[in-house]
Each structure stands twice: as C-alpha cells, then as structure tokens.
Amino acid sequence: MEIVKVSSQGFCKGVIRAIAIINKALKNDNIRKPIYMLGGLVHNKHIINAYENKGIIIVDNINDIYEGTVIITAHGVSDSIIDLIKSRNLDILNTTCFDVIKTHNIIKEKINDGYDVLFYGKNTHPETKGVMGISEDIDLLNITNPKLFFATQTTMSYLDVIDMLKIIQNKYPHIDSYEEVCSATKVRQTALIEEAKNADLCIVVGDHKSNNTNKLKEVCLKHTSTPCVMVESIKDLESYDFSNVFRIVVTAGASTPPAIVDEIINGIKNNDFNSYLQDDDYLKIR
C-alpha cells in the first residue's frame, strides 16, 4: 500500500501565530488571570481541549467575562465586541489571523467609501459573524447602488468563489471584487485535486466544524472520482476496510495538528488504530 501525504500540510501561518501567542502567554506570570477564550481558538477540538486542560476558560458569550484576560480567536470578532471588551477594562490577547484582519479592513474601507458589500461565507461561521453587510440569496437581491463590492470568507472553496462571482457578475457587471480565499486554503485544494485523481482513497484529517477541512472533502468529491472520508483521529478508521485500497492520499485542514496526520499514516501502515497523543502533541508548532 502506498500512502501519499499531500503537500501542503501542517498548520497555516495564522494558526501557528495564534498558538505561539497563547503558548507564550501561558508561560508569562504577568498575564492577568483568569484567561478566557471567546469561542474556540481554531476549529479543532483537540487543540481546544488541550488549552482547557491548561486552565484556559472557553466561553461563547462576552457577557460571561468581567475580569482577567480575553483571547480573541484566529477567526476574529467585530469591532463592537472589541470595544465592549475594552470598556470592561479587560486585557486582550488578539490572535486574529492577518488574512481575516485584511478582509475586515477592506470591507470597512469599501463601506466608508459608500459601497454595498456582498459577503460570501458560511452564515454560522465566526469569521462571517465578524463581518457586516452580508447578503445570502443572489436571486432576491435588488441593489441599485452603482458602487458594489464582493468579498468572501477566507476558508471557502476558491473554485466555488470563482463560480459564485461569475453568477453575481452576470447580474451586476459593475461589481468590484477581491479574491480573499487565503493562500493556504487554495494551495491545499489545488494539490488535493491533482493528487487524488490517481488514488483509491482520500483521507481528509480535521475537525468536522472546520470549514476549510470540510471544503477539502467537498473539493475532492466534486472534482475527482476518488472516494473520500473525513476523520478527526486514527480511531475513526478502525472499522474501515482497506482490503481493496492500494494508494491513499492524506490531506488535512489548516488547523489540524500535524501530529494527528503522522499518527494516522503510521497507524494505517502498522494496522494500529489506537491514539497515543497527549495535549502537548496537539500544540506543537513545527
């Protein structure tokens, strides 16, 4: 059996930065306690659980925080949330991905210049919640503003973004746009399509809440004929039948710890579907 680890792999630069900031903060005795995290740092339960075990308190509502330090996750939040945190005299550890910050800044600039903004993203995703001016149904849109701008969530399928923009341009030829799918997402999707064409199975590793991980599976199923499964750990493959599988390609979401991917590859090779990873393994930055 041949197992191909699709490049690129590992944490994206935004996740590396976020984990590095928090790991450093946990070693700093001067950080005000308690330390809260507003939502999950990234969409990976292993990382979130590891930080909970290290004493970080995960909350979903800013109204639950009145003291200490607040971690803003890599997905970012709206300006109103930042203002509320500051008004409560809380310290902030801002780990927002620079690509997300760039998107927010562009949208705010366009709104200030009088544009209506169409935002393409998953409406339940934290990144989308942090953005203003969302429109969801193209057919129902009736926009007369000659200044129109199209923006996207950074973890969408770049191929879907291209298709979506073409549809919008048919209705609004004058629309301005900026391709904001992050490079890590685009590179992973492109590489997977190429590698999966000649495989018997594709394994996508990542959390089921991770949009960029889900998009990898969607891209594989949509643009190749290769069967694809999404797993969170080696234990998810315990009952999988590999008897007619001769070539496997393995890819992973941008917030998937590399240790999980390595354990899956080694586990398949050695027919061992137990996990031996510890909290610190999930938080290693390579």
Could you list the active site residues?
127
Element (H, E) at 120: strand 116-120
Q: Cα–Cα distance between 7 and 261 in angstroms, integer? A: 12
Q: Cα–Cα distance between 181 and 215 in angstroms, integer? A: 12
Q: Is 43 helix (H, G, I), strand (E, B) or coil?
A: coil
Strands, E, within 132-270: which ranges? 148-152, 176-177, 201-205, 228-231, 247-252
Q: What is the DSSP letter of 280?
A: H
- What's phi and psi for 147, nearest 5 deg? -105, 105
Give Cα 217 distance to the centre of its chain. Answer: 14
Q: Cα–Cα distance between 257 and 283 in angstroms, integer? A: 7
Which residue in 18, 68, 64 sits closest to 43, CA to CA?
18
Q: Cα–Cα distance between 229 and 216 in angstroms, integer? A: 10
CB 38 within 8 A of CB 48: no
